[in-house]
Amino acid sequence: MKKTSSPDLEDDLRPEYDLHALRLVARGPGRRKTGEVTIQLASDVAEVFPDAQSVNEALRFLMRVTRKELSHSDS
């Protein structure tokens, strides 16, 4: 049986309630973790780095090499 709404139904929500300010919380298996940053890789880069772990490992290596190069150039 189909429910019908009453035409004389009144909205008892107070005008000072701002529903646009509500923060939505994603639930379920596809949600991001708190503090997690998402970036999009170019397709050619994504072919070489299949997952986040491999991307992070490569970037950490690059950071170590860059730090070594900068410390050698300061001497």
Question: Could you tell me the residue ranges of all domains in the chain?
Answer: 51-75
In this structure, the number of other CB atoms found within 10 A of the CB of residue 56 comes to 11
Could you read off the pLDDT of 18-55 as tens digits, one per residue?
777 777 776 777 776 777 788 899 999 999 998 989 99
Cα–Cα distances in angstroms (integers) from residue 63 to residues 55, 56, 58, in the given order = 12, 10, 9
pLDDT higher than 70, residue 3: no
Structure tokens at 39: 């970036």
Nearest-Å Rg of the Cα atoms of the chain is 26
Task: Report which residue type is found at 71.
Answer: S
Q: Which two tokens stand for residue 20?
A: 């646009």
For 6-15, write each residue's pLDDT tens digit.
666 677 777 7
Distance CA 32, CA 26 (A): 8
